[in-house]
Amino acid sequence: MSSKHEIRLYTIVWHAEGIVAADMDGEKVMLNIEKGKYYGLDGIGSRIWELIEEPHSIQEVVTALLKEYDVEESICQHDVLMYIKNYMSKGLLQLLRLLKNFIIMSWREQRLFLEAYCLTGIVRLAIILFPFRRIAPFLGKYMAESSMLEDSVKLAIARRIGQLVTKASRFTPWESKCLVQAMVCKIMLRRRKINSTLYMGVGRDKIKGLVAHAWLRCGKTIISGAQGIKNFTTVGKFADLDGG
C-alpha cells in the first residue's frame, strides 16, 4: 500500500495480507510475498509489530509502549508514527478507514456508533471543564452496585454498545480513554434503562508509578475497560439502579 495515505494517531492499522513473519535472534524478519522482499525489524519495531497483529489505533500502540518503556509520550508518538509510515511504505500494513468501517455496519449499528462518537466528545469536554466532584452525582449512586443478574436481551445490547464505544473511541481526534469510554457506555445504557456500575480503581505500574483505571459492569459482564482490571484496587463505584 502506498505511503501517501495520511496517518494520524487515531488511524487504525494492522498487518497486511500476505506477510510472513519469523523470529530470528530476538528480532523479526518479514517477507512480503507479493513483492518477494525481506525486511528486518529491530527490537522496538518488533514490539510495535506484535501490538498491531489485531486492528489498533496508533495511539493505542503508544499507550501500550508507555507502560513498558520509560519515554516521554510526545517522543513515543513521533517514533511510532515513523515506524508505521516505514511499514506502510513497504506494504506491511493496511489501514482501517472510518468511512469504510462505518459503511459496512447495519443502520442500527451506525446510529449507535454515531451516538457513541458524539458522546465521547461531550464527555471528554465535561471532564476537561468540570472538577470530578461536579460530575460524580451524574454517574449514579455512590458506592452502590447494580445486580449481577441481567436480562439476556439487555445484556446483549450492553455488550454491543461496549464494542461500538470502543470502536468509536479509536477514531476520535480527542482523547477517549477508559473513563470516557466507561461514562459513555453508562450514559447509553441508562438511556435504554439498563442498569450498570462504573468502577474507578488505582494500581501501581513499574514505570509510571500510581495509575488509575475505570471500567463498567452490566450483570456479570465487563462492558468496557476489562483489560487488566485485576491489577487495580477499587476506590469508588457508581451504580444505576432500576433502569437508571
**Backbone phi, psi, residue 212, to 5°:** -115, 160
Summarize pLDDT for 198-231 with one digit per residue, the tens: 999 999 877 678 999 999 999 999 999 998 899 9
pTM of the model: 0.66
Please count the CA atoms within 13 angstroms of the CA of 62 that sit on its side-chain side.
Answer: 25
Strands (E), the chain: 12-15, 19-24, 27-32, 37-41, 56-57, 93-96, 141-142, 196-205, 209-218, 221-224, 233-240
- Are both 40 and 59 inside the same structural domain? yes
Kindly tell me the burial class for residue 195, based on how many C-beta atoms sit within 10 Å of its own C-beta (0-12, 13-18, 19 or more): buried
pLDDT (tens digit, 9 = 90+) per residue, 62-72?
Answer: 999 999 999 99
Q: Is residue 117 part of a domain?
A: yes
Does 236 lie in the same domain as 117? yes
The backbone torsions φ and ψ at residue 164, rounded to the nearest 5 degrees and listed phi first, read -75, -35
Those residues whose C-beta lies under 8 Å from the C-beta of residue 35, and which sit 6 or more positions away, are 91
Q: Domain boundary residue among 39, 67, 96?
A: 96
Structure confidence at residue 39 (pLDDT): 86
Q: Are 201 and 212 in contact (CB under 8 A)?
A: yes
- Domain with 150, as residue range(s), is 105-240
Edge-to-edge, what's the strand order for the sheet holding 233-240? 141-142, 233-240, 196-205, 209-218, 221-224
Q: Across residues 10-38, what is the average pLDDT?
A: 80
Domain boundary among 67, 96, 125: 96
The shares of helix, strand and coil residues in the chain, as percent rounded to the nearest 5, are: 45, 25, 30
Dist CA 75 CA 85 (whole Å): 15
Question: What DSSP state is assigned to residue 10?
Answer: T
Number of structural domains the chain divides into: 2
Does 2 score more than 70 pLDDT? Answer: no
Same domain, 137 and 38: no
Same domain, 73 and 194: no
Helices 73-89 and 43-51 pack at an angle, to 10 degrees, of 80
Asked whether residue 153 carries a pLDDT value surpassing 50, the answer given is yes
Q: Which three cell numbers stand for residue 242?
A: 432500576
CATH number for the domain spanning 82: value is 1.10.10.1150
Among the three residues 41, 62, 96, which one is the final residue of a domain in this structure?
A: 96
Q: Are residues 229 and 109 in the same domain?
A: yes
136 and 196 belong to one structural domain: yes
Is residue 123's pLDDT more than 60? yes
- Cα separation of 38 and 131, whole Å? 53
